[in-house]
Amino acid sequence: MSETTTTAAATAAPAETASNARQPILSIKHLCKDFKLRGDGLFEKPKVLHALSDVSLDVYEGETLGIIGESGCGKSTLGRCIVQLHRATSGQILYNGQDITGLTGADLKTMRKNIQMIFQDSYSSLDPRFTAARAIEEPLRIYNLVPDKAKREQIVFDLMKEVGLDVQHVERYPHEFSGGQRQRINVARALVLDPKIIVCDEPVSALDVSVQAQVLNLFRRLQRDRGLTYVFISHDLSVIKHISDRIAIMYLGRVVELCPAHRVYENPMHPYTKALLSAVPPESPFQKTEELKLSGEIASPVGDMVGCPLAGRCPFATDRCRTERPSLEEVEPQHHVACFRYHEIAQ
């Protein structure tokens, strides 16, 4: 499939110039998600795990918002809240201005057509008893959009071609595909309903390098051709930087930095972002990275916390960091950071 250079690239232009004027297609406002854990002892009170604490993000049409963080930072929970697999504890998620957190029944079903998701594990997200064709046409059957069998088949064939699958493989089962091909099936299935937003939860982390590159290119091509909006979740900074227009860096259920993609590499401000950058393996054997090391390990998200979530590990932490929580503030145009001392650290 040859790559088409479309003029639609303009819709994917970096959000930094236009986003102020545009209305966000998806707006997350003060989103919190708690999970109740059973207490240790028989009579102990249940504990609360704060997976997301006061997350606010705007996503604009046609852009890719990258979300990065380490395991347990809440990035997957955020993705699952957006597609309503988890119900938010508090806060709002607005799709084109309409709050979707409380939707049920038919309203929820209608909304779901617009927001789709692609999961990390390409194998377990496909029913092992469905062939590729059956999996891709499943959404059409759910909504009974195309009752005609031949037409459905044609739609499936076209989509398989669009995502780079061999049409000869329609009758194969998931285990007979490689990881990359399976992920293409997942993409095709998500595209059948022609959604506006796709939440991608680590879609390439389980893939090999060469296949990962193919799938990343596929995502970008689909975005150009269809004007899709992505919320792209990953733990791999290089991948996120490559695919995203803007990046949100999360730590312990909070957004600590939000900036245009290239800024994360050129001018990271939050100590955690810096630590992440310096931990990325080198690009050549000759590269020696200056490392900013964080001490210890990620704190537990269970129970209430005061102060900056990074305070316990940050080499720059002061008493203020331990008692007061920094809020996410716009310190440069389009560049938000939640740190009291970012300007001192920058030097």
Which of 172, 317, 331, 345 is close enough to bind another protein by CB under 8 A?
Answer: 172
Residue among 112, 226, 254, 335 that touches another protein (CB under 8 A):
112
End-to-end CA distance of the chain: 48
Task: Give the C-alpha separation, 202 to 244, whole Å.
Answer: 13
Q: How far is the CB of 218 from another protein (least distance, A)?
A: 7
Stretch that binds another protein, among 23-31, 40-48, 235-243, 304-312 (CB under 8 A): 235-243
Position 107 contacts another protein (CB under 8 A): no
213 part of the interface to another protein, by CB under 8 A? yes
- Whole-angstrom distance, CA of residue 59 vs CA of residue 62: 9
Minimal distance in Å, beta carbon 321 to another protein? Answer: 19
Min CB(242)–another protein separation in Å: 4
Q: How many other CB atoms are found less than 10 A from the CB of residue 329?
A: 11
In terms of Cβ atoms closer than 10 Å to its own Cβ (0-12, 13-18, 19+), residue 153 is middle
179 vs 307 by CB, closer to another protein: 179
Is residue 241 at the binding interface for another protein, with CB under 8 A as the rule? yes
**CA distances, 268 to each of 167, 246, 347 (Å):** 45, 13, 11
Candidate ranges 24-32, 49-57, 126-134, 316-324; the one touching another protein (CB under 8 A): 126-134
Tell me 165's DSSP state. Answer: -
**List 96, 262, 316, 317, residue binding another protein (CB under 8 A):** 262
Q: Does 334 bind another protein (CB under 8 A)?
A: no
> What is the crossing angle of helices 179-191 and 209-226, to 10°?
20
Binding to another protein, residues 270-309 (CB under 8 A) = 275-287, 291, 293-294, 297-298
Q: Which of 247, 254, 224, 216 is nearest to 72 (CA)?
A: 254
Please give the size of the binding site for another protein, defined by CB under 8 A. 81
Question: Of 7-66, which residues contact another protein (CB under 8 A)?
Answer: none
| CB nearer another protein, residue 2 or residue 347 | 2
| Of 25 and 191, CB closest to another protein | 191
Asked if 218 touches another protein (CB under 8 A), the answer is yes
Shortest reach from residue 316's CB to another protein, in Å: 16
Count of CA atoms in the C-beta half-sphere (13 A) of 332: 13
Residues 80, 215: Cα–Cα separation, whole Å: 22
Please name the residues in contact with 141: beta carbons below 8 A apart, sequence gap of 6 or more: none
Q: Is the dihedral of CA 156, 160, 165, 168 positive or negative?
A: positive
